[in-house]
Structure 1
Amino acid sequence: MTINGYTVRHRGMLQAIADGRGELVCGRAPSLSVDGLWCDFTATVELFTGGLFRPAREAAVGASAPAVLTTSGVQVLRSLVAV
Structure 2
Amino acid sequence: MTGIRIELSRRERAILRAVAAGRGVLVSSCEPALTIDGCWCDHAAVHNLVEAGLIEKERQVPYGLATPAVITRAGEAALAEDPRST
Return the TM-score normalized by structure 2. Answer: 0.86
Whole-Å separation in 1 of the counterparts to 2:81 and 2:15: 14
Partner of 1:72: 74
User: Cα RMSD between the aligned structures?
Assistant: 1.4
Alignment of 1:1-83 (within 5 A): 4-80=6-82, 82-83=83-84
Moved over 4 A (4+): none
The count of corresponding residues between Structure 1 and Structure 2 is 80
Aligned-residue identity in percent: 36
* Greater share of strand: 1
Question: Which residue identity is paired with 2:9?
Answer: T
User: What are structure 1's unaligned runs of at least 5 residues?
Assistant: none
